[in-house]
């Protein structure tokens, strides 16, 4: 089990972020007189504090990892899994319930991000978990939740995943769920809707769920959930069919056909399909027992294998359950939070870049130790990505401690950027790893010139149309932020003129929104996308005077908050009026500053005000507070608060202000505070 890395307690929700401000001094606090060196007041000291704090966080093995906070469905489903397997114990239940209760809002609901609107499926799952923990349905906090659930459609209006969990315990009918036939595993990669048409996270979830869907297990719970039905007389009302000529209508009718097929499926074929699915799952179990380094596929894989006859003492099952225990953070108040994922490779490369940007010597022991650890994490064998890129030599990095089946393009780009900043005593070893990473990333370029996260050309529109797929992104198309990081890395490696780099640049320029920003797929949202793309473009030789860069600068200046910072709410994924709008955060302010600095705006008023915000909101221990979720798993549907973002990105922005862009000719050497 993992102890909390940042001391964070349960987070409470605030007011509408559009109307929140964080107290910061006027822009005049950062002025040309500064501290007598021509630098704004407090910047060097803020950098020194942040460097010291970040160095103190490093694990002796060389890595960094901040807590990865998502929402209470992770905690609820962990308890439901343990109930299903018959291994739920009271200590874990009490600790999980303490966390879940702490996340409930005054109206009885749960949200999926800090300050967000109530979310039905999360509220249902949290309520059910608390019922398992023994909270009586007539307790005030439970009646508030159940009343809200009924008023918003009840169980029938919940997402498919939630209703699958309820079906496992007899609270919902399997007949009222989309069909997932295990025969999917037999479809070759060139047939539409084969498993490799799905993004790797969805693929790893769907394959085990085909087994669950085929077997339809029910293990009755000791209580009913009648209080969660909007209409007790008709708890599962039939949904009207969309017109046949529409995509939705066609796929709804296909699902009905699959329900009919289930009744007549050849027994030998179905048995063979489930066996093949089981082999597929076992073959992808990682060395630490997990699947894909993320909690949801691990949960469903454990259930599927258990249904296929693997007892809990089997090495595969034992390792899987032990891996789930490592996805937990035990807080000082006794609460237990489940992480959906862990981010040590991502956090380590970003921390190393931040420290290098802050002026740490390239041969500093902390950086060398980080490089050693990152070099040891390189993935040197093929994974699922090779289905679409057969023959490509492996050589990338994954996000997590153990995820050799699914290295990703974003981590690989950032690790290469980090390694390039470090002077390692074995330069040949570093150069060989960098060369493999560059080659692998180039080989993963999609046909349109851009890059997705885990696969090349994972762009089929069909998976999103399936009735089952109502839980968020299920494909992995190219994104501006990942493409930008690859372009930035290629430029740092002297490949700015490479035709493949130029294709990436052309794609980025074509993807710019009319107002000037770029959409952020893996961070929130337009501020993140813009903070990723502008530094990449200028690193690759696009002039700060280029119209695309100027539009981005004008947009960032237009959405700067009165307190000098930048913020953007997760609602921007659903409502464009929220683009660039929200309470200021340290990480989003840093992303905006990184873009402005790379665009030649170092001496501009927007940069001065942004620096003032970071300096004045830094805590005495060198940290920043950030309750808002600025990371993205699925746009809108799965939001993330990376607890290390609030440290590494402000340090990067402040360091680049002091020292210039990492690979640019304007890189400056500024003495640390107290040095002459």
Which residues form the catalytic set? 410
Interstrand relation of 631-634 and 638-642 (parallel, antiparallel or unpaired): antiparallel
Please identify which residue in the block is written with the tokens 């099952």. 317
Question: Is the Cβ–Cβ distance between 380 and 395 less than 8 Å?
Answer: yes
User: Distance between CA 183 and CA 409 in Å, rounded?
Assistant: 30
Interstrand relation of 328-330 and 2-3 (parallel, antiparallel or unpaired): parallel
Question: Is the Cβ–Cβ distance between 346 and 411 less than 8 Å?
Answer: yes
* Residue 129: closest CA among 174, 82, 177: 82
Residues 6+ away with beta carbon under 8 Å from 450 = 478, 479, 480, 482, 483, 504, 507, 508, 511
Question: Is the Cβ–Cβ distance between 40 and 673 less than 8 Å?
Answer: no
Cα of first residue to Cα of last residue in the chain, in angstroms, is 46
Sheet holding 328-330, edge to edge: 2-3, 328-330, 336-338
Question: Is the Cβ–Cβ distance between 482 and 491 less than 8 Å?
Answer: no
Q: Where are the beta strands (DSSP E) in 242-360?
A: 328-330, 336-338
Bridge partners of residue 336, in order along the sequence: 330
Question: Is the Cβ–Cβ distance between 337 and 328 less than 8 Å?
Answer: yes
User: Distance between CA 198 and CA 489 in Å, rounded?
Assistant: 27
Question: Is the Cβ–Cβ distance between 449 and 504 less than 8 Å?
Answer: yes
User: Distance between CA 597 and CA 225 in Å, rounded?
Assistant: 55
User: Distance between CA 476 and CA 446 in Å, rounded?
Assistant: 11
User: Distance between CA 615 and CA 617 in Å, rounded?
Assistant: 6
Residues in the chain: 676
How is residue 8 written in tokens? 């964070």
CA 518 to chain centre: 18
User: Distance between CA 285 and CA 300 in Å, rounded?
Assistant: 12
Question: Is the Cβ–Cβ distance between 174 and 167 less than 8 Å?
Answer: yes
CA 581 to chain centre: 21
């Amino acid at each position: 089990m993992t102890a909390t890395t940042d001391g964070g307690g349960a987070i409470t929700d605030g007011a509408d972020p559009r109307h929140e401000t964080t107290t910061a001094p006027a822009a005049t606090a950062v002025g040309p007189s500064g501290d007598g060196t021509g630098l704004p007041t407090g910047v060097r000291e803020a950098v020194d504090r942040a460097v010291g704090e970040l160095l103190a966080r490093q694990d002796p093995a060389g890595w960094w990892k901040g807590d990865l906070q998502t929402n209470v469905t992770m905690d609820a489903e962990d308890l439901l899994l343990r109930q299903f397997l018959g291994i739920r114990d009271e200590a874990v239940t009490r600790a999980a319930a303490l966390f879940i209760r702490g996340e409930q809002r005054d109206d009885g609901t749960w949200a999926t991000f800090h300050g967000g609107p109530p979310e039905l499926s999360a509220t249902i799952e949290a309520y059910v978990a608390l019922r398992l923990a023994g909270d009586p349905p007539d307790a005030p906090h439970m009646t508030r939740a159940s009343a809200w659930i009924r008023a918003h459609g009840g169980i029938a209006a919940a997402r498919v995943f939630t209703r699958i969990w309820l079906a496992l315990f007899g609270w919902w009918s399997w007949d009222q769920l989309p069909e997932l036939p295990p025969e999917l595993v037999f479809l070759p990669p060139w047939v539409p809707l084969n498993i490799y048409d799905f993004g790797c996270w969805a693929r790893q979830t769907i394959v085990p769920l085909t087994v669950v869907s085929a077997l339809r297990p029910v293990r009755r719970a000791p209580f009913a959930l009648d209080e969660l039905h909007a209409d007790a007389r008709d708890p599962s009302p039939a949904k009207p069919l969309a017109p046949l000529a529409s995509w939705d209508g066609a796929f709804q009718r296909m699902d009905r056909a699959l329900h009919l097929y289930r009744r007549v499926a050849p027994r030998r074929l179905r048995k063979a399909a489930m066996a093949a699915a089981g082999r597929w799952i076992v073959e992808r179990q990682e060395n630490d027992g997990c699947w894909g380094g993320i909690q949801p596929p691990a949960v469903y894989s454990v259930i599927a294998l258990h249904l296929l006859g693997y007892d809990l003492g089997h090495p595969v099952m034992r390792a899987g359950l032990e891996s789930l225990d490592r996805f937990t953070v035990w807080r000082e108040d006794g609460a237990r939070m489940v992480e959906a994922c862990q981010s040590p490779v991502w956090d380590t490369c970003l921390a190393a870049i931040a420290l290098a940007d802050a002026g740490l010597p390239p041969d500093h022991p902390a950086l060398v130790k980080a490089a050693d650890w990152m070099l040891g994490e390189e993935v040197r064998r093929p994974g699922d990505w090779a289905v679409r890129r057969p023959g490509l030599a492996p050589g990338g990095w994954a996000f997590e401690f153990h995820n050799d089946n699914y290295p990703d393009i974003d981590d690989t780009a950032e690790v290469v950027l980090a390694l390039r900043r470090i002077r390692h005593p074995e330069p040949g070893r570093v150069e060989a790893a960098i060369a493999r990473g560059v080659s692998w990333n180039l080989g993963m370029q999609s046909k349109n010139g851009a890059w997705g996260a885990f696969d090349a050309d994972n762009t089929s529109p069909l998976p999103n149309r399936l009735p089952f797929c109502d839980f968020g992104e299920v494909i992995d198309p190219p994104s501006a932020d990942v493409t930008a990081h690859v372009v930035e890395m290629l430029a740092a490696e002297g490949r700015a003129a490479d035709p493949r780099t130029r294709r990436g640049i052309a794609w980025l320029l074509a993807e710019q929104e009319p107002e000037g920003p770029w959409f952020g797929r893996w961070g929130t949202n337009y501020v993140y996308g813009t903070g990723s793309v502008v530094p990449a473009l200028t690193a690759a030789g696009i002039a700060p005077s280029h119209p695309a860069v100027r539009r981005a600068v004008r947009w960032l200046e237009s959405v700067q908050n009165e307190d000098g910072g930048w913020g953007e709410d997760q609602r921007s994924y659903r409502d464009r009026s929220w683009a660039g709008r929200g309470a200021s955060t340290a990480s989003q302010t840093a992303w905006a500053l990184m873009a402005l600095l790379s665009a030649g705006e170092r001496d501009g008023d927007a940069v001065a005000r942004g620096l003032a915000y970071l300096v004045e909101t830094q805590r005495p221990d060198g940290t920043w507070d950030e309750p808002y979720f600025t990371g993205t798993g699925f746009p809108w549907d799965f939001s993330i608060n990376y607890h290390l973002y609030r440290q590494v990105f402000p340090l990067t922005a402040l360091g680049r202000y002091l020292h210039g862009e990492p690979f640019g000719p304007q890189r400056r050497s500024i003495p640390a505070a107290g040095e002459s």
